[in-house]
A and B are shown apart, each in its own frame.
Chain A
């Protein structure tokens, strides 16, 4: 019996859990720093619409809260890029490029853009902040996107799409 636990852990977590947990704590910490300083829940996907307000005059993108926050949301996004680059330069094992097929990025990206904006948030806004706030709206959204994503990913895998 004593040999079962390590086997199970290795089966579920073939790459260990330490870097996942550490990364998760840091993601939460980054959100917490912004919240403590500003009282703002910083989700990552609002950037898409608030940035569109620079180039489009559709009222949807020019809501006062988007125009008021668009500058710092650009800074937030660039800081996310810089933070990831900092880790890669200091502690990573070189620049990394995905092997996932480009069509998956194109089709998936469009759906992500539509879905996060209709659903009022994404993995950070609903998944991290909303779940942290025990928001029922966010819990329903996260459960929905998680189940659909698992179904879609398993289906693609079954159809032989890899990576």
Chain B
């Protein structure tokens, strides 16, 4: 748990340093007014890419959980694209994504609670919709 706390603190600290916790900065990037965000996502991916590769090559198992350091690749299906479109629309409208939203609260931006609340509503709605769909598929009453 201490590792999670340390990692979360550094993660949130970094989001504040980079100003990505400010929706205005993300919106400026998306409107091509300031391309700095490329360095935020690029810098982060370079570090994780290096560490993941080194751990996989030289590490054995994570000391705290015993999990091995293999690559964890998510499977591809059309949901990856559909989800990307919906998430992209939301990110473009609000300038905020989940991690940055939590950090935004930390820099004092209390109106972001509206966005975090919205994210919970959205996550709940898709869960509900999936449950309904699974139910209708199971009983064979699906219209399509």
Contacts and interface: CB of A to CB of B under 8 A. Distances in A.
Interface of A: 12-17, 19-42, 44-45, 47-49, 51-52, 56, 58-61, 72, 75-88, 91-92, 94-100, 102, 104-124, 127-138, 140-154, 156-157, 163
B100 to A, nearest CB: 7
B95 to A, nearest CB: 6
B119 A113 contact: yes
B85 A81 contact: no
Contacts of A127: 41, 44-45
A1 B3 CA distance: 50
Given A96-B22, A110-B122, A83 B64 contact: no
Given A13-B34, A83-B103, A128 B82 contact: no
Nearest to A91: B17
Contact of B4 (A72, A88, A116, A140): A72
A37 B39 contact: no
A44 B103 CA distance: 11
Contacts of B100: 123
B90 A76 contact: no
A131 to B, nearest CB: 4
Given A79-B4, A81-B103, A39 B122 contact: no
B141 interface: no
A161 B114 CA distance: 19
A34 B3 contact: yes
A156 B92 CA distance: 9
B15 to A, nearest CB: 6
Given A33-B3, A150-B92, 14 more contacts: A21-B39, A21-B43, A26-B18, A48-B98, A77-B102, A81-B12, A83-B10, A94-B108, A112-B87, A113-B126, A120-B79, A120-B80, A123-B98, A146-B88
Contacts of B7: 30-34, 37, 42, 76, 79
A23 B127 contact: no
Contact of B107 (A85, A133, A137, A148): A85
Contact of B45 (A17, A26, A92, A132): A132
A26 B31 CA distance: 25
B92 A44 contact: no
A80 B15 contact: yes
B41 A144 contact: no
